Structure 1
């Protein structure tokens, strides 16, 4: 056992993010951590790395309680976070200065790490002279140069184009399989289910609010793994199913009635029309392929369709309801009518706002945000407000004046 989390909990401004999380990381394994956007994956990773403290529970590394950053763990972030005025060599060597190593030793180890990630010859280049994939390789070298036993990776490939991401994933896996890394375990946060199946020895599904580990899926395929292998596809399908378990979907529908999923109207209508074209029903892998959407972007859209009563989602499948089929076939004017009907019937927050607008004749944004901040932290309240505003204005339930930041009754009323 390298790393263990026991009953970890965390809240921000009294808003629960994690509760009762247990997790173990053992030598010789890559573990993928999956979950919905905003579900607490990155927060959990930072708690494990000692960057932020848990409110409850504890994290132990090599049997010792983690109470801050410790030697033996390093992190690769989604953003490259390089110092633009430093060369590749200087960026990589920077993490060694606090260890009291001499400059020649720091430079030697930095050059070794740079060569390991395939950037030999670019030591004197500045970040602005590198492609996105090369900058992420620098980030990886900067983490590896301190020779961590545990390497945390927070969606390290998501900012890259698909081809570059595939190449970097393959190179990392080659180094791991060949035993060229001193790292003994990797914990990878990802929203890409195929990436999890390609790299990991097991996958953990984080879900719920507050977040907790809902499922653990072993991945016992030899490397290299072929995405076209039926066993590969079966594992990806199982992860989709775990992310959309019926009881979890039903609980989420109740929860998001006030939180509102990150689901723009245009994307919702496009998804409904795609499902209509597929006969009103599809499994999530097919839907992801048809739409080109990653899991992290697809799931909030499906949550919104479930909340609004336009689709049913469970166990990796999605099916349009009769109302969803009508929405897929309607013209824009009828789509707005259907959207308005379902918003008022199924989203209490929209109905509350509309009632206040009609009763008062207007509703200032500041007043609405103040009310939302009773339920949510400030940043979450603003996100919910933006979604509520977009949905309600599209449906014609109220009108928004940008200069005054005020809602008014619909102009047609």
Structure 2
């Protein structure tokens, strides 16, 4: 098994078996514009090639632009710069060789299962009788025989997603695109659908030549894909490519599977040392949030160093568990012990590293001396320590405290900070960033917040309890 990834973001990721290319993306960059006219970069110089006969997973955290890239490749949105081509022809509209399966099922509630499946065929001008025959065949293939006349409201979530698969497969696309297709389902249903998809692919029953799946679930990517492309965040770049040379069906319990999962975790939890210079899976100790890698010490900004969306209580819990396990553990082992997906731990890990409370080395995490001190402190002392680290290493928290300190009455409306955040974040992400900063600041008793008034007010000394 090869697990050594490529680390050059601008080089198109290609499959080793030179089967014909279906879709090719070259230097794809996508920038959105905020309501205030500010540029919001989402993708930066992304290159990849999707070949016949392979399943490729796009893996990354929130903010990596996975879904945006998928939509660029599908021709649903145009890149700001760069090109996307299908079978060698540049796209100037929807990609004719692609069908999509969405997270939200996206079924029309007033149509039956069969009518929903026939939609794509009808749009292509296929006659009624051929539509019916092909739709019934796809419905049978996906395991919904007998539900042709049912309406979406009569179906479970898993059955609705099966309709989505049938609708995508019925047009026999070159490439099947899936955007987090299992994330809205319960664990058992998702596992069942994944296994059935693999069975259709391995049995050559699925009328598609390639599959591209967007996911944030690392084990899902390793279970399904022949290649995994890991995207970095804000903006999204291809940070690494990994070949998955494991026979299907894949067993999560094998050392090879676990080793590849650990490698991917190491990539996602590592800290880049500059564009294209990260060594995924290699040693990394994190970096201080108040410096810019590769240059002189420069204050980090709230937009340049987003806060991981976690609560102080959740972060403290992670530190306490690590302290109880000797101060160091593997992420996969830690997640297994807690009965969580490792993906769920990543924001907590990011927060711990950002605040200099932990360090990551590949797929392992270890407490720093400051992290151990906080984990073993009483509640009042731990709040004091958290306040100090938030002020030192969380740029948005520090910016709020500095702004409140500079006013005569130490009071400001939250709208000021939302307006500033909107220059780099969408409305939803700006709100999420501010809510996280408020949660951290209130926990550390750095400032108070009146939700009804949307007002922030500095605490008495503005430095937390006893800081």
TM-score range, shorter chain: over 0.9
Provide closer, same or farther for how the CA distance between residues 345 and 245 of structure 1 changes in structure 2, counting only shifts above 3 A.
closer
Q: Equivalences for 1:11-30 in 2 at 5 Å?
A: 11-13=31-33, 14-30=39-55
Among 196, 199, 204, the residue aligned to 2:229 = 204
Aligned to 1:3: 23
SS of the equivalent of 1:59 reads: strand
**Alignment size in residue pairs:** 413
Q: Equivalences for 1:198-347 in 2 at 5 Å?
A: 198-247=223-272, 250=286, 253=289, 258-347=305-394
Give the Cα separation in 1 of the matches to 2:220 and 2:424: 35
1:128 matched to 2:153? The reply is yes
Provide closer, same or farther for how the CA distance between residues 71 and 348 of structure 1 changes in structure 2, counting only shifts above 3 A.
closer
Aligned to 1:118: 143
- Measured after TM superposition, the shift of residue 375 of structure 1 is 4.3
- Measured after TM superposition, the shift of residue 285 of structure 1 is 1.1
**1 or 2, which has the higher helix percentage?**
1
SS of the equivalent of 1:2 reads: strand
- Measured after TM superposition, the shift of residue 359 of structure 1 is 3.4
SS of the equivalent of 1:356 reads: helix
1:69 matched to 2:87? The reply is no
SS of the equivalent of 1:11 reads: strand
Provide closer, same or farther for how the CA distance between residues 405 and 208 of structure 1 changes in structure 2, counting only shifts above 3 A.
closer
Aligned to 2:443: 394
Give the Cα separation in 1 of the matches to 2:313 and 2:263: 29
1:355 matched to 2:375? The reply is no
Q: TM-score, normalising length from structure 1?
A: 0.95
Q: Which runs of 5+ in 1 are unaligned?
A: none
Q: TM-score, normalising length from structure 2?
A: 0.84
Give the Cα separation in 1 of the matches to 2:78 and 2:423: 25
Aligned to 2:3: none
Provide closer, same or farther for how the CA distance between residues 56 and 102 of structure 1 changes in structure 2, counting only shifts above 3 A.
same
Kindly provide the CA deviation profile for residues 391-412 of structure 1, in whole angstroms up to 9, marking residues without a partner as x. Answer: 1111110111122110112268
Aligned to 2:207: 182
- Measured after TM superposition, the shift of residue 377 of structure 1 is 4.1
Give the Cα separation in 2 of the matches to 1:312 and 1:140: 42
- Measured after TM superposition, the shift of residue 325 of structure 1 is 1.2
Give the Cα separation in 2 of the matches to 1:296 and 1:234: 16
Kindly provide the CA deviation profile for residues 116-146 of structure 1, in whole angstroms up to 9, marking residues without a partner as x. Answer: 1101111111212211111111111111111
Q: 2:118–2:167: 8 Å Cα contact kept in structure 1? A: yes
- Measured after TM superposition, the shift of residue 230 of structure 1 is 1.2
- Measured after TM superposition, the shift of residue 315 of structure 1 is 1.4
Give the Cα separation in 1 of the matches to 2:140 and 2:29: 40
Q: Which runs of 4+ in 1 moved over 6 A?
A: none
Aligned to 1:365: 414
Provide closer, same or farther for how the CA distance between residues 334 and 382 of structure 1 changes in structure 2, counting only shifts above 3 A.
same
Give the Cα separation in 2 of the matches to 1:68 and 1:262: 36
Q: 2:64–2:237: 8 Å Cα contact kept in structure 1? A: no
1:167 matched to 2:192? The reply is yes
Give the Cα separation in 1 of the matches to 2:108 and 2:350: 39
Kindly provide the CA deviation profile for residues 196-221 of structure 1, in whole angstroms up to 9, marking residues without a partner as x. Answer: 12111111111143211111111111
- Measured after TM superposition, the shift of residue 251 of structure 1 is 6.4
- Measured after TM superposition, the shift of residue 245 of structure 1 is 3.3
Aligned to 1:409: 458
- Measured after TM superposition, the shift of residue 58 of structure 1 is 0.5
Q: 2:57–2:228: 8 Å Cα contact kept in structure 1? A: yes
Q: 2:32–2:42: 8 Å Cα contact kept in structure 1? A: yes
- Measured after TM superposition, the shift of residue 354 of structure 1 is 1.3
Give the Cα separation in 2 of the matches to 1:354 and 1:173: 52
Q: 2:269–2:349: 8 Å Cα contact kept in structure 1? A: no
- Measured after TM superposition, the shift of residue 260 of structure 1 is 1.1
Give the Cα separation in 1 of the matches to 2:128 and 2:378: 68
Aligned to 1:191: 216
- Measured after TM superposition, the shift of residue 290 of structure 1 is 2.6
Aligned to 2:68: 43
Q: 1:256–1:307: 8 Å Cα contact kept in structure 2? A: no
Aligned to 2:296: none
Deviates more, 1:297-306 or 1:5-14: 297-306
Q: 1:18–1:212: 8 Å Cα contact kept in structure 2? A: yes
